[in-house]
Amino acid sequence: MTSTKDAARAAEANPVLRTLARAGYAANGVVHALIGAIVLAVASGAGGESDQAGAFKAIAAAPAGFVALWVLAVALGALGIWHGVAAVPAHASDPAKKWGRRVSEAGQAVVFLALGVIAGAVALGAEPSGDDAARSASSGVLAVQGGPFLLGAVGLGVAIAGIAFVVMGVRRSFRTKMTIPRGTAGHLTTALGVFGFIAKGIALFAVGVLLVVAAVRVDPEEAGGLDGAVAALLGLPLGPWLVASIGIGFIAYGVFCGFRARYARL
């Protein structure tokens, strides 16, 4: 186990991987900014696929989009690898905090690796749909014994993750993972982080609610990804305003990720 940790620490300190990980944060910012722009368009009544797959498809349609997608795929994949490597040593004196950090790092590794795979798939010509994937996965889970309880637990987990993002934004706890610059740049970075984390948290919470509803009704058609969550929020009182605020928040989060690429503590 010690040799595994030593190898993980060596990989974590590798300057090439660190550089690629920072590029991954920037790539994540590009994706979120595009999602935010699409969400704003949807709030105003236009069409659009307001999730990661939709953002990648928009990039694919642009000039040199094929090249841009592969750059994003490599950067996001590298960031996923860095988080996976960082999960092994996970420094903390309290065992509970240590395992909490490991779970957090491992979860982020899965997310960024998945985003890298999706970007690569779109570059190769695939046209994935986040909502279709969510419904297909929900259908498979509901088909097994105890499936509704399992899907409900997943939905609850996603909703809790959304609440955690909101709390991180309100408490500004994301600053512990960065070296915030002084002056105007620091104030701007913090403001973008607060707004962005809260907006993303609300969107994740909505996705979790959709999964819980699908579990309670035992109906996979009730499930959905970010695109479905945006559609559900549009149906609420003042829904277009709420969705527009989330779109602006995603753009803010995207810009924040650009600052994080520069100031993240790796």
Q: Which of 168, 57, 31 is nearest to 112 (CA)?
A: 31
Asked if 110 and 78 count as a contact pair (C-beta separation under 8 A), the reply is no
Q: How many domains does the chain have?
A: 2
Q: Could you tell me if 134 and 243 lie in one domain?
A: yes
* Same-domain check for residues 41 and 69: yes
Q: Is the pLDDT of residue 148 over 70?
A: yes
Domain that holds residue 160: 130-266
- Claim to verify: residue 194 and residue 258 sit in the same structural domain: yes
Q: How far apart are CA 38 and CA 130, in angstroms?
A: 14
Quote the pTM value: 0.87
Average pLDDT over residues 3-12: 67
170 and 183 housed in the same domain:
yes
Last residue of a domain, one of 96, 128, 160: 128
Nearest to 208 by CA among 136, 258, 138: 138
Q: What is the pLDDT of residue 64?
A: 86
Residues 40 and 115 in one domain: yes
For 190-231, write each residue's pLDDT tens digit: 999 999 999 999 999 999 998 898 888 888 888 778 888 888
Q: Are residues 74 and 203 in the same domain?
A: no
**Residue 72's pLDDT band (cuts 50, 70, 90):** very high
The pLDDT of residue 96: 67
**Last-in-domain residue among 72, 100, 128:** 128
Residues 119 and 150 in one domain: no
Q: Are 37 and 156 contained in the same domain?
A: no
Task: Give the amino acid at 234.
Answer: L
Residue in 123, 29, 35, 113 with CA at minimum distance from that of residue 71:
123
The reply to whether 195 and 246 lie within a common domain is yes
Confidence of residue 22 (pLDDT cuts 50, 70, 90): very high
Separation between Cα atoms, residue 37 and residue 83, nearest integer Å: 28
Rounded Cα distance between 51 and 60, Å, is: 14
- Of 128, 149, 167, the position where a domain reaches its end is 128
Per-residue model confidence as pLDDT tens digits over 163-197: 999 999 999 999 988 999 889 999 999 999 999 99
Per residue in 75-84, pLDDT (tens digit) is 999 999 998 8
Write down the H helix ranges in 144-265: 147-171, 184-217, 226-234, 239-263
Average pLDDT in the 227-236 region?
Answer: 86
Residues 164 and 201 occupy one common structural domain: yes
Same domain, 40 and 157: no
Please check whether residues 227 and 168 belong to one and the same domain: yes
